[in-house]
Amino acid sequence: MALLDLFGKKKKEFKATCQITKEPIEKGFGYLLTTAQVVTSKKYWDMVMTEPETMSYTLSHFKNQSTGTQMRSMIFEKYATIAKPWIVSDSIINYFEVDKSEARQKAKMWWESEGNYAPENIGPASQILEEPIYKRLKEYAILEAGRDRVKV
pLDDT tens-digit map of 67-120: 999 999 999 999 999 999 999 999 999 999 999 999 999 999 999 999 999 999
* Cα gap 86→92, rounded to integer Å: 12
Half-sphere exposure of 51 (CA within 13 A, CB side): 12
pLDDT of amino acid 42: 97
pTM: 0.88
Alpha carbon of residue 111 to chain centroid: 17
Helix (H) or strand (E) holding 24: strand 24-25
Alpha carbon of residue 11 to chain centroid: 28
pLDDT of amino acid 55: 95
pLDDT of amino acid 151: 82
Three-state SS at 34: coil
Q: What is the mean pLDDT of residues 16-21?
A: 96
